[in-house]
Chains A and B, each alone.
Chain A
Amino acid sequence: MVGNEILGRQDTAAPSAPLAIELRGISKSFGPVQANKNISIRVARGSIHGIIGENGAGKSTLMSILYGFYKADSGEILIGGKTVTIPDSQSAIRAGIGMVFQHFKLVQNFTVLENIILGAEEGRFLRPSLTKARAVLKKLAEDYELDVDPDAVVEDLSVGHQQRVEILKALYRQADILILDEPTGVLTPDEADHLFRILRGLRDQGKTIVLITHKLREIMEITDHVSVMRRGEMVATVTTADTSPEDLAELMVGRKVLLHVEKSPANPGRTVLEVENLRVVDDNKVERLRGISLQVRAGEILGIAGVAGNGQSELLQVLGGISNGTGIVRLNGESLDVTGKHSDGQTRRAKGIAHVPEDRQHLGLIMDFTAWENMAFGYHNAPEYQRNALLMNNEALRADTARKMERFDVRPPNPTLAAKSFSGGNQQKIVVAREIERNPDLLLIGQPTRGVDIGAIEFIHKQILALREAGKAILLVSVELDEIMSLSDRIAVMFDGRIMGERLPDQTNERELGLLMAGMGDK
Chain B
Amino acid sequence: MDFLTLLQILDSTLRLATPLLLACLAGMFSERAGIFDIGLEGKMLAAAFVSGAVAAVTVNVWLGLLAGIGASLLLAGIHGLASITFRGNQLISGVAINSLAAGLTVLIGQNWFGLGGRTPSLVGDGRFPPLTLPFSEALAPVPVIGPIYHDLISGHTFLVYGAMALVPASWWLLSRTRFGLRLRAVGENPAAVDTAGVSVVRMRFAAVAICGVLCGLAGAYLATGLSAGFVKDMTAGRGFIALAALIFAKWRPVQAMGACLLFGLLEAIANRYQNIDLGGVIIPVQFMQALPYILTVVILAGFVGKAVPPRAGGEPYVKER
Instruction: Please state if A118 and B321 are interface contacts (CB–CB under 8 Å).
Output: no
Q: Which of A67, A89, A101, A126 contacts B181 (CB 8 A)?
A: A126
User: A101-114 vs B: 1/0 string, CB under 8 Å?
Assistant: 10001111110001
Of residues 147 through 194 on chain B, the ones whose CB sits less than 8 Å from some CB of chain A are 176-182, 184-185, 188-189, 191-194
Contacts of B321 in A (CB 8 A): 60-61, 64, 69, 101
- From residue B171, how far is it (CB to closest CB) to chain A in Å? 13
B311 within 8 A of A: yes
The CA-CA distance from A89 to B192 in the complex, in Å, is 11
Give chain A residues whose Cβ lies under 8 Å from the Cβ of B194.
89, 105
CB distance from A193 to the nearest CB of B (A): 27
Is A99 an interface residue, CB under 8 A from the partner?
Answer: yes
Interface residues of A in 105-163 (CB under 8 A from B): 105-110, 114-115, 117-121, 123-127, 129
Cα of A475 to Cα of B184 in the assembled complex, Å: 43
Q: How far is the CA of A118 from the CA of B200 in the complex (A)?
A: 13
Closest to B195 in A: A105
Tell whether A123 pairs with B185 under 8 Å between CB atoms, given A89-B195, A107-B192.
no
**Chain A residues whose CB sits within 8 angstroms of the CB of B198 once the complex forms:** 90, 118-119
- Give the distance in Å from the alpha carbon of A355 to the alpha carbon of B219 in the complex: 57
Interface string of B225-242 (1 = CB under 8 A from A): 000000000000000000
Check if B177 sits within 8 Å of A119, measured CB to CB: no
With A60-B321, A118-B181 already in contact, the answer to whether A107 and B197 are too (CB < 8 A) is no
Structural contact, B197 and A121, CB atoms closer than 8 A: no
List A contacts of B195 (CB < 8 A): 67, 89, 99, 101, 105
User: Given that A99-B195, A118-B196 are contacting pairs, would A109 and B178 also be in contact in the complex, using a CB cutoff of 8 Å?
Assistant: no
Write out, one digit per residue, whether chain B residues 301-321 have a CB within 8 A of any chain A CB (1) or not (0).
000000000010000000101
Structural contact, A123 and B178, CB atoms closer than 8 A:
yes
Shortest distance from the beta carbon of A257 to any chain B beta carbon, whole Å: 27
How many residues of chain A have a CB within 8 Å of chain B?
A: 32
Task: Confirm or deny: A238 has a beta carbon within 8 angstroms of a beta carbon on chain B.
Answer: no
Give complex CA distance A408, B189 in Å.
40
- Compute how far the CA of A115 lies from the CA of B188 in the bound complex, rounded to whole angstroms: 12
Closest CB-CB distance, A223 to chain B, in whole Å?
22
Q: Evaluate contact between A89 and B179: CB separation under 8 angstroms.
A: no
CA distance A323 to B309 in the complex (A): 25
Query: Which of A69, A90, A129 lies in contact with B319, CB distance below 8 A?
Result: A69
A412 to B194, CA, bound (A): 37
Give the complex CA separation of A294 and B56 in angstroms. Answer: 79
**Cα distance A179–B311 in the bound complex, in angstroms:** 27
Interface size class of B (residues with CB under 8 A): 20 to 34
Choice from B176, B179, B185 contacting A107 with Cβ under 8 Å: B185
Is the Cβ of A107 less than 8 Å from the Cβ of B178?
Answer: no
A273 on the B face (CB < 8 A) = no
Q: Which of B179, B193, B196 has the most CB of A within 10 A?
A: B196
| Cα–Cα distance between A420 and B244 once the two chains are bound (Å) | 40
B192 & A127 in contact (Cβ 8 Å cutoff)? no
Q: Decide if B181 touches A88 in the complex (CB within 8 Å).
A: no
> Which residues of B sit under 8 angstroms from A88, Cβ to Cβ?
197
For residue A169, which residues in chain B have a CB less than 8 angstroms away from its CB? Answer: 196
Task: State whether A118 and B185 are in contact (beta carbons under 8 Å apart), knowing that A64-B321, A89-B195 are contacts in the complex.
Answer: yes
Asked whether A93 is an interface residue with its Cβ less than 8 Å from the other chain, the reply is: yes
Contact residues in B for A90 (Cβ distance below 8 Å): 197-198
Q: Which residue of A lies closest to B321 (CB)?
A: A64
B178: which A residues are within 8 A, CB to CB?
121, 123-126, 129
Docked Cα-Cα span, A123 to B181, in Å, equals 12
Q: Which of A88, A89, A93, A119 gathers most chain B CB within 10 Å?
A: A119
Could you tell me the distance in whole angstroms from the C-beta of B174 to the nearest C-beta in chain A? 11
Separation of A118 and B191 alpha carbons in the complex (Å): 12
How far apart are A103's CB and chain B's nearest CB, in angstroms?
Answer: 8
* Cα(A101)–Cα(B194), bound, Å: 13
Complex CA gap A114/B188 in Å reads: 13
Query: B197 to A93, Cβ gap below 8 A?
Result: yes
Q: Which residues of the other chain, B, contact A64 by a CB distance below 8 angstroms?
A: 321
> What chain A residues lie within 8 Å of B179 (beta carbons)?
124
Cβ–Cβ contact B191 & A105, under 8 A:
yes
Contact A125 B177 (CB under 8 A): yes
Q: Which chain A residues (84-100) contact chain B, with CB distance < 8 Å?
A: 88-90, 92-93, 99
Given A106-B189, A107-B184, A107-B189, 18 more contacts at CB 8 Å? Answer: A61-B321, A64-B321, A105-B189, A105-B192, A105-B194, A105-B195, A108-B311, A110-B188, A115-B192, A118-B181, A119-B197, A120-B196, A124-B179, A125-B176, A126-B176, A126-B180, A126-B181, A129-B178
- 8 cross-chain pairs, A with B, having the tightest CB-CB distances, nearest first: A119-B196, A90-B197, A105-B192, A121-B178, A105-B195, A89-B197, A119-B198, A107-B188
